Amino acid sequence: MHRYPERPRARNAPNGLFDRGHLWLFEAIDGAPLRFQLTDTGAIRVGDATTTFDLRAVPIPYRYAVQEIRDQIDRDALFEAVPALETVTFFGVAPQRRSIPYEFDRIPGFFGSDIRVTDRGLLPPDVTTKIYEELGLTTLAPIEKEVRAVDFDPNRHSVPPSTWYDGPAFGTIVRNKTGESAFIADDDAPVPEAEFAPATTEAFVSTIDVETRCERATTALNQAGTAVTVDSLFDRVIAAIGREYPAQFDDGAIDQHAFSSALRSEIHRWHTSQ
């Protein structure tokens, strides 16, 4: 896969980004970088900014995003549009609760931001947005389109409210049609405090509303035409927990094996009671 695009702060933006051409502005999402590619056989290859995941052991904070990509991507549309799949890498972000308390019951698991083709480089933002829509995946929400660069002052730009919770956006991504981009954040804006689970495995499990999560997972599985089993419930529930509490898994604050075992037991108890 191609390397993840660099996104410097506006003060370190590429020369000329704000001097010529037209700009697209997008709401930046707080989360983790994610990239993926389809092989010529149709298999998916996924990774973060620097590594490629083993699909049998995707890190828990990324599982929700990876599952959404696998469930929603229109492979037929991609095969039809791209003769050589392995020349294309898709880039985006997996929303995770880090500094912004997003409404995770409605925010998508993945936002596409960029697409790189081997012999063409990064595609223009209008083309990128259209391709993601055709593939059935969500893109970053545009704030403004086709703004003349000479009329845009990054130092006077105000980060707008977020589409995904009641508060200011994480920042603004500014892109031109050649692939150059920069990130603008309001450093003076108050950062909402997110609620994180207790550190111990026992306390963590006790804070999670397993019943509600199982009910939501059941609805999603039924909509997907997938059998509701302990295994399928577990996969959905732990993926949702992972993106809401990524720090618990990133920092090794809990024993992941013990947590998974305890969670599966709670899900089994709920499933057998239905």
Where residue 270 falls among pLDDT bands split at 50, 70, 90?
Answer: very high
Q: List CB contacts of 90: < 8 A, sequence separation 6 or more.
A: 35, 36, 37, 112, 114, 115, 132
Which of 66, 79, 93 has its CA nearest to residue 39?
Answer: 79
> How many C-beta neighbours within 10 Å does residue 262 have?
19
Left (φ > 0), alpha (ψ -120 to 50) or beta: where does 220 sit?
alpha
Q: Are 124 and 177 in contact (CB under 8 A)?
A: yes
Q: Are 23 and 147 in contact (CB under 8 A)?
A: yes
Q: List CB contacts of 4: < 8 A, sequence separation 6 or more.
A: 33, 35, 48, 49, 50, 91
Q: What is the pLDDT of residue 119?
A: 85
Place of tokens 């492979």: 75
Where residue 247 falls among pLDDT bands split at 50, 70, 90?
Answer: confident
Place of tokens 């931001």: 113
Q: Please report, rounded to a whole number, the percentage of residues in the chain having pLDDT higher than 70.
A: 94
| End-to-end CA, the chain | 44
Mean pLDDT of 159-177: 93
For the stretch 68-109, pLDDT in tens is 999 888 888 888 777 788 899 999 999 999 888 899 999 999
Rounded Cα–Cα distance for residues 189 and 170 (Å)? 10
Q: List CB contacts of 177: < 8 A, sequence separation 6 or more.
A: 21, 22, 124, 125, 126
For the stretch 17-31, pLDDT in tens is 999 999 999 999 999
